[in-house]
Amino acid sequence: GAGVSQSPSNKVTEKGKDVELRCDPISGHTALYWYRQSLGQGLEFLIYFQGNSAPDKSGLPSDRFSAERTGGSVSTLTIQRTQQEDSAVYLCASSLVGTDLYEQYFGPGTRLTVT
């Protein structure tokens, strides 16, 4: 079946502009995660959605970052007034909560470059 998809695959934007990144999780997966990966670095947790529960936003680096998940499926990560330090690969993952496994399936990521 289809995996996690993300769009766009690459995004170049000017400093100060807003960007929206999209994630389509695996159908039926109730949990959705956003991570940020800077060049040569590990994954930095940003936000986590699980069903109808309030999202865990503890990883969002500033109030310029926000995310929503509509209908329990597609999610959009929005970065307002982008800064050069926002340049990174943004990864989305989904998982099937309710099993005894926490395996997350990752999308290919969106590479964001802020000029």
Partner 1 sequence: GENVGLHLPTLSVQEGDNSIINCAYSNSASDYFIWYKQESGKGPQFIIDIRSNMDKRQGQRVTVLLNKTVKHLSLQIAATQPGDSAVYFCAENINGQGGSEKLVFGKGTKLTVNP
Contacts with partner 1 by CB under 8 A lie at 4, 31, 33, 35, 41-45, 48, 50, 53-54, 56, 58, 91, 93, 97, 101-109
Minimum CB separation of residue 18 from partner 1 in Å reads 24
- Measured from the CB atom, the residue of 14 and 28 that comes closer to partner 1 is 28
Distance in angstroms (rounded) separating the CA atoms of residues 26 and 42: 23
CB of 16 to partner 1, least distance (A): 28
What is the closest distance, in whole angstroms, from the C-beta atom of residue 15 to partner 1 in the complex? 25
CA-CA distance, 47 to 67, in Å (whole number)? 8
Toward partner 1, which CB reaches closer, 14 or 85? Answer: 85
Distances 53 to 14, 20, 32, 57, 65 between C-alpha atoms, Å = 34, 23, 12, 12, 19
* Residue nearer to partner 1 on the CB measure, 48 or 65: 48
Enter the DSSP assignment of 39.
Answer: T
Closer residue to partner 1 (CB): 82 or 95: 95
Q: State whether the Cα torsion 57-63-65-67 is positive or negative.
A: positive
Query: Minimum Å distance from CB 115 to partner 1?
Result: 21
CB 25 within 8 A of CB 73: yes
